[in-house]
């Protein structure tokens, strides 16, 4: 990294979303230097995650445009602002949409990763330090997205949202650990915690669900049952340790009844990764009484209501929710990267497409068509 850019505005390319659902436009943007507790990052690789797509479509939330999306990425620290002690220029980092300030009650709790200061805020388009954007075009500010905005060659991020990782890790692979893959993996390993030889049902076989299956495989589950409405996903899912498949469309009765019958009373653990309320209820009702644990990962419409009979809980079933797989970004994500480096966790099978930054709209097309799992976008065209 050259010190020539230190404290200077950096002009660079960014993919700007000017309006909902319209193709992104590669623009020349100006990226301001980092302020207190911030770092400016040179993004090397980024990926498209469903959350970007959801807010780009702007169907169920406050639209905020123009905006630079992107939150699943890997990069290198170009410069740091005042007060940053956990990072140095040249460090390899994964930006994360949620943070770890290290000071609040959540950060000090061993049980929580939901930092009060840096928890995800999808409505905020500015930095928390001064309420301003670090991006501009001809002096006009461009909104940030979930504190990361990785669809830009350079971006400014709060230091509490940057996980410093092993510099030997290949950035074009571990970039996918900054969101979806860690979410699914942690939901199984940190929250469901299946025992060796147990049965696990995974609802939804997208990237997050397959990462949850990968967690079940690593934990040594003997039966991993995948539930999805799209039978095309079943073949791919075998690579992730899934042993059996159930398509709810093939059955006239509730899927929880089918699963209970298949497993002689219910699965030991279930992980729900679709965000559909019916799947959430099925995921809870299909676990075995006495010890079954269901974990909700998918994000539902905010108005839906979860309904089940209290006797299901009284019969010693547990219902849990999770946020980012219960990983604290700065403390825990480096060890997930090391799991990959030690060959415990496989990442290559999640990466189905690779494109250059100038082709970024292709990544949106792949996701809209449901093609592939993760598309890696190289910033160096």
The rounded Cα 89 to chain-centroid distance in angstroms is 26
pLDDT of res. 2: 54
Query: How distant, in Å, are the alpha carbons of 166, 240, 362 from that of 231?
Result: 38, 16, 24
Q: In whole angstroms, what is the distance from residue 23 CA to residue 17 CA? A: 7
Are the C-beta atoms of 78 and 40 separated by less than 8 Å?
A: yes
pTM equals 0.96
Q: 1 falls in which pLDDT band (50, 70, 90)?
A: very low
Query: What count of other Cβ atoms lies within 10 Å of the Cβ of residue 43?
Result: 30
* Segment 276-318, tens digit of pLDDT: 999 999 999 999 999 999 999 999 988 999 999 999 999 999 9
Quickly tell me which residue has 């909104």 as its tokens.
143
* Segment 165-208, tens digit of pLDDT: 999 999 999 999 999 999 999 999 999 999 999 999 999 999 99
Residues 30, 33, 37, 43: what is their CA dihedral angle, to the nearest 10 degrees?
60
Q: In whole angstroms, what is the distance from residue 231 CA to residue 74 CA? A: 33
* Segment 196-246, tens digit of pLDDT: 999 999 999 999 999 999 999 999 999 999 999 999 999 999 999 999 999
Query: What count of other Cβ atoms lies within 10 Å of the Cβ of residue 245?
Result: 17
DSSP sequence for 77-92: EEEE-TT--S--TT-E
pLDDT of res. 63: 87
Tell me which residues are annotated as active site.
49-51, 71-72, 101, 104, 107, 115, 119, 179, 374
């Amino acid at each position: 990294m050259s010190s020539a850019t230190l404290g200077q505005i950096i002009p660079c390319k960014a993919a700007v979303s000017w309006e909902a659902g319209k193709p992104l436009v590669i623009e020349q943007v100006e990226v301001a230097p980092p302020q207190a507790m911030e770092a400016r990052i040179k993004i090397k690789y980024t990926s498209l995650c469903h959350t970007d797509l959801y807010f780009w479509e702007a169907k169920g939330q406050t639209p905020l445009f123009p905006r630079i999306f992107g939150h699943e990425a890997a990069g290198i620290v170009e410069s740091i602002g005042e007060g940053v002690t956990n990072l140095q220029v040249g460090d390899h980092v994964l930006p994360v949409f949620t943070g770890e300030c290290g000071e609040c009650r959540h950060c000090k709790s061993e049980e929580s990763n939901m930092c009060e200061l840096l928890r995800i805020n999808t409505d905020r388009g500015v930095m928390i330090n001064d309420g301003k954007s670090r991006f501009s075009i001809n002096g006009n500010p461009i909104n940030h997205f979930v504190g990361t905005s990785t669809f830009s060659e350079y971006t400014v991020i709060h230091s509490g949202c940057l996980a410093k990782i092993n510099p030997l890790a290949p950035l074009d692979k571990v970039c996918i650990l900054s969101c979806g893959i860690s979410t699914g993996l942690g939901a199984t390993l940190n929250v469901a915690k299946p025992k060796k030889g147990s049965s696990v049902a995974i609802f939804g076989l997208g990237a997050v669900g397959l990462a949850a299956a990968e967690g079940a495989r690593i934990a040594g589950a003997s039966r991993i049952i995948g539930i999805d409405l799209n039978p095309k996903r079943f073949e791919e899912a075998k690579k992730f340790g899934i042993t059996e498949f159930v398509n709810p469309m093939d059955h006239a009765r509730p899927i929880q009844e089918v699963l209970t019958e298949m497993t002689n009373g219910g699965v030991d653990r279930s992980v729900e990764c679709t965000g559909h309320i019916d799947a959430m209820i099925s995921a809870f009702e299909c676990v075995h009484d006495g010890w079954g644990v269901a974990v909700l990962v998918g994000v539902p419409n905010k108005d839906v209501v979860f309904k089940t009979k209290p006797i299901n809980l009284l019969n010693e079933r547990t219902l849990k929710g999770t946020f980012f797989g219960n990983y604290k970004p700065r403390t825990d994500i480096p060890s997930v990267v090391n799991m990959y480096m030690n060959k415990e966790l496989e990442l290559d099978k999640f990466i189905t497409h690779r494109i250059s930054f100038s082709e970024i709209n292709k990544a949106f097309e792949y996701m809209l068509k449901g093609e592939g799992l993760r598309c890696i976008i190289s910033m160096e065209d």
